[in-house]
Structure 1
Amino acid sequence: MNWIIATNTKYSSMIQDGSIHIYFWVMFYPFCIGWKATLLLDEGGSPALYMNHTSGTWGFSEKRMKVYSVDQWSLSPDDVLDELPIDPNRNNYVRRVHKCIFSCVSPTPFTSEVRLIAVSEDVLENLLDLAVSVGATDEFLQFVSGRDFTGWRPLAHRYGGHQFGVWAGQLGDGRAHLVGTYINRFGERWELQLKGSGRTPYSRDGDGRAVLRSSVREFLCSEAMHHLGIPTSRAASLVVSDDAVWRDQFYNGNLRKERGAMILRVAKSWFRIGSLEILARSGEFELLRNLADFIITNHFPSINSKDPNRTLAFFSIVVSETASLVALWMSVGFAHGVCNTDNFSLLSITIDYGPFGFMESYDADYVPNTSDDEGRYRIGNQANAAMFNLNKLRLALNPLLDARQQQLATQVLEGFPGLYYQRFTELFRSKLGMLGENDLDLTLISSFLDLMASAKADFTMSFRQLSEISLDELQSLTIPQEYWALQDISRQNNFPAWVDAYILRLKSDKPEIHIKKLDGGISSAQG
């Protein structure tokens, strides 16, 4: 094979702004195949990424690539979402939508001046291949504020859901727009979505807007969750306007004027349990099959897309990964607040940050959502809520399963509690610094949580301080003031017995390692 590379001189001036057009010919005797490609250059001027304009596909080098201008950056030209049906009605008014996955609708920009107030450098550089300096440009501001979508086709997703245990019918993206997908230099496919970007056919009684208060919370929390190692959507940017948005923050009938804001957030997929539920509920079984197969093919590479048991395998993975996700939430004291089926991702990532909260004093009945009067989504009930949601997913998938597969799906769901407690135990075992496995570990963990609950001790600091205190101080039960959270726990009657059992557990597993650690402090425990 001979490679012949030639450049056309009329493109040479483009090298300065980070790109160059090159013509490639690949010689296969007796055939000659040619194509035009665009190369994006890294900051050293070396090729980093190319796009084949003939096929619309991308190629990647191992060099670190950054794009220094929005003008050079583009969403993927071969969006796989194009395979899914779009509502033929292109008018933007609230209505019932049928027999489609998306509606085509453009964002509604703010009428006042917008200001960029936050960007995630990690998302820009490592997910979207954008240099951080791009975030300071007006072109970037126009994009992330929904003002410039020339040549693109923003979409709003149709889905339904069970809210607080009751089928709510059609819901959908009422204030969000999927603006497209991007394939980065690692070959990762990311879907970009604006939130707070205006009304859609799914807005119901809403105004399509988000306020600064809740947008700041989502921006900070989604990035924090990622860096805590918890699967989540990401936030790329946050803009604020002077447009007035009226909100009843505490659901007590008192409206207050707030400033409108808009987030650009990214995820590998925004499909959720409600995406499939609405199709099953509407009797759109062919579309249900098509969407399920689309999700399996594009997001579950471990499943053979031709396997007759592929839907069952998909359900099994979602059950397992959701169990792990909720256990991870619990390990950091995170309460989602609205664990409805429309807020549970089919990729088992944390999405739709609303009235969430992080538990301070340990309380299994902690409820961050002031509208959750019955405490359905209290932190200690999140696993039960997840199992409820997974059962609704099972029912939605039933039309795609034969009788035997339906029975197996029921068995898979029945295994959820075991999967959850297995992951829960692994995580809290690590937080307590215990190596290996012991049948009594869950009991030891539960006893410590009970002590924390009785003492109303700080959840995070109890584990942090346990990792810092010395063995002598712990055994003496004389807890220094600097370990104030542990000091609260030490006042409980059962604390001495728990300490004895805890130290015995540490020494029983690889004692030569633990004894060395215990001499200077229980350094293996983590908060």
Structure 2
Amino acid sequence: MLGSTTTLVIFTLTMTFQANSENALDFCERSESCLHQQYHSLSSSNRTHFPLSLSCRKLIDALPLDEIDGNFVRTVKRCIFSKSQPTKLLGPLTLAAVSRDVLEHILDLHLSVTQSEDFVHYMSGGKLLPGSVPLAHRYGGHQFGYWAGQLGDGRAHLLGAYVNKKGERWELQLKGSGKTPYSRSGDGRAVIRSSVREFLCSEAMHFLGIPTSRALSLIVSEEPVWRDQFYNGNMKKERGAVVLRLAESWFRIGSLEILAKTGEEDLLRQLLDFIIEEHFAFIRTDDPNKYVVFFSVVVNETAHLLAQWMSVGFAHGVCNTDNFSLLSVTIDYGPFGFMESYNPNFVPNMSDDEGRYSIGAQANVGLFNLEKLFEALIPLLTSDQLHRAQQVLKHYPQIYHRRFHDLFKAKLGLLGDEKNDSYLIAFLLKLMEDTGSDFTMTFRQLSEVSVMQLQKGTIPQAMWALQDLASHVFFSDWVNLYLLRLRRQMGDSDEDRWSRMRKVNPRYILRNWMAESAIRKAEKNDFSEVELLQQILTHPFKEQDVAEKAGYANRPPPWAAQLMVSCSS
């Protein structure tokens, strides 16, 4: 368990409550030459200049590549990446969705490029962008608490990096683009339902203010892909899809674990030095304690990320070490879910029979994953540095609690810091748990109800989540404590409080039923609801007429309770 008995009060309620460099360079040059020839061999009618080029140099020059070529499945040694070509999707391709924000503000492109046939082929892996040398990353991981050995990018291809006009470096990756050396028994494909969910959620999380990978495009095909969605022996023919996603880096805890586990200490040091130099520039490369500093930053930022997940009711679903970013951003959207009725035992993944990754267990799982990162760093640390790193890890609960506390204070519109604030938050969450009140709309409607309405008990019927909460026998006791706390915020009006609270309490989240409705239409080539949700979730804190008409702020429909999401995708 985390922390002492006293620090666990709110926690319990919320979480139970270079030898290879020449070869690499030769490969890069050969690939770019082949791409150049491929591009210029196109007929003149199809040949257009696409205004985006990537660079593979930084990764391939600094880190060793797999000496074996080809996409066949194998055990990979002594490298960080394997060369791997995407497999072209079959059948007519359809651009189902595109993020204009990513297109214009990250990739510096104009929306008009999406009208070209080339765009669909480039963003699905049928053609390679200039400068692209597709790579699959080798990593391992602890899955559901057990070491799973070599994992790696089994259906993802890193195309290269783009540095935009703001000086930001983004790595572009295709997901669902075919087999790699790490595909194991998989086919390297992704289907429409999981791809719609990843596209929508990564963009939704960004606009909620949660650190996350981004998604540029969703492209669907007519290629048949067979899946046993619920692991009950019923194989079903679905259709393939590819998401082009972006992150500053795709390195994860498992990237270091695999090297420590296989005794590749020199490569472990090489990779970690590269990660620090590229992504932790504030750490001096000549600092003898740089690995401890790195670990301290990852511990701190991971705690912050998990507290942010909790603040919007987000459950990742598969918190394996191979899904935890070293840059502490949300990656690898699988069977995630936004909690509806408040329940610390909410499990979004039907494959998680034991509830290991329930929403209330996420912070403890974060600690487990950081312990595995610590173990991976052991070969690089002196005895004194090991001790320091252990002390850093001990502070994780405190860091998490502080961030959680601050986020939930803001959700309640509280200013300053009073000793009973943790109790006020925990009291509310307990009432929500007992009544099954909707997590998102309870906080949102507290952002819309007046002090007078709370005081008189005249909560409007339209505030259905607060009406559910008000059914609790102790609701009036909590309200009295809350109102006393608000009165001590001198000069703070309802309008001021509403303004603050509405900036941190979304009105719209990607609920499972909303995603499912969009998926069902998308599978029939109707992408209108995918587009609608994308537009609405770009402004989750702002009330929108079209969203209200669609019922996105209403009580979830009864059929929503029957929805199940699995790891099958």
Establish whether residue 456 from structure 1 lines up as the match of residue 414 from structure 2: no
Establish whether residue 506 from structure 1 lines up as the match of residue 486 from structure 2: yes
CA contact (8 A) 2:450 2:494 kept: no
Q: Which stretch shows the higher mean deviation, 115-124 or 350-359?
A: 115-124
| Partner in structure 2 of residue 212 of structure 1 | 192
Q: Which stretch shows the higher mean deviation, 431-440 or 228-237?
A: 431-440
| Partner in structure 2 of residue 129 of structure 1 | 108
1: distance between equivalents of 2:429 and 2:478? 11
Establish whether residue 399 from structure 1 lines up as the match of residue 415 from structure 2: no
CA apart distance, 1:80? 3.9
SS of 1:200's equivalent? coil
SS of 1:72's equivalent? coil
Establish whether residue 101 from structure 1 lines up as the match of residue 98 from structure 2: no
CA apart distance, 1:323? 0.4
CA apart distance, 1:79? 2.9
2: distance between equivalents of 1:230 and 1:193? 20
Larger Rg: 1
Alignment of 1:397-476 (within 5 A): 397-476=377-456
CA apart distance, 1:328? 0.6
Q: Which has the higher contact order (CA 8 A, sep 6+)?
A: 2
- In the superposition, relative to structure 1, how do residues 81 and 151 fare at CA in structure 2: closer, same or farther (>3 Å)? closer
Amino acid at match of 1:503: L
| Partner in structure 2 of residue 8 of structure 1 | none
2: distance between equivalents of 1:97 and 1:200? 11
2: distance between equivalents of 1:349 and 1:271? 11
| Higher share of residues assigned helix | 2
CA apart distance, 1:506? 1.5
Percent same amino acid among aligned pairs? 61
1: distance between equivalents of 2:197 and 2:448? 30
CA contact (8 A) 1:173 1:200 kept: yes
CA contact (8 A) 2:451 2:494 kept: no
CA contact (8 A) 1:471 1:522 kept: no
| Partner in structure 2 of residue 493 of structure 1 | 473
Establish whether residue 525 from structure 1 lines up as the match of residue 501 from structure 2: yes
Amino acid at match of 1:75: L
SS of 1:261's equivalent? strand
CA apart distance, 1:77? 6.2
Establish whether residue 227 from structure 1 lines up as the match of residue 227 from structure 2: no
Amino acid at match of 1:285: E
TM-score of the aligned structures, taking structure 2 as reference length: 0.78
Structure 2: gaps of 5 or more residues: 1-47, 506-569
SS of 1:481's equivalent? coil
| Partner in structure 1 of residue 133 of structure 2 | 153
2: distance between equivalents of 1:326 and 1:461? 21
The two structures, once aligned, show a CA RMSD in angstroms of 1.4
Establish whether residue 119 from structure 1 lines up as the match of residue 95 from structure 2: no
Amino acid at match of 1:451: L
CA apart distance, 1:521? 7.5
| Partner in structure 1 of residue 319 of structure 2 | 339
CA contact (8 A) 1:192 1:266 kept: yes
2: distance between equivalents of 1:174 and 1:208? 6
Establish whether residue 92 from structure 1 lines up as the match of residue 74 from structure 2: no
- Residues 298-353 of structure 1: CA deviation (Å, up to 9, x unaligned): 00011111101100000000000000100110111100000000000000000000
Establish whether residue 202 from structure 1 lines up as the match of residue 182 from structure 2: yes
1: distance between equivalents of 2:104 and 2:170? 13
| Partner in structure 2 of residue 82 of structure 1 | 61
2: distance between equivalents of 1:94 and 1:438? 58
CA contact (8 A) 1:470 1:521 kept: no
SS of 2:465's equivalent? helix
SS of 1:88's equivalent? coil
- Residues 210-233 of structure 1: CA deviation (Å, up to 9, x unaligned): 000100000000000001110000
- In the superposition, relative to structure 1, how do residues 342 and 186 fare at CA in structure 2: closer, same or farther (>3 Å)? same
2: distance between equivalents of 1:438 and 1:181? 47
SS of 2:133's equivalent? coil
Structure 1: gaps of 5 or more residues: 1-68
- In the superposition, relative to structure 1, how do residues 215 and 367 fare at CA in structure 2: closer, same or farther (>3 Å)? same
| Higher share of residues assigned strand | 1
| Partner in structure 2 of residue 46 of structure 1 | none
CA contact (8 A) 1:468 1:521 kept: no
2: distance between equivalents of 1:80 and 1:177? 14
2: distance between equivalents of 1:146 and 1:417? 43
Amino acid at match of 2:197: R
- In the superposition, relative to structure 1, how do residues 171 and 78 fare at CA in structure 2: closer, same or farther (>3 Å)? closer
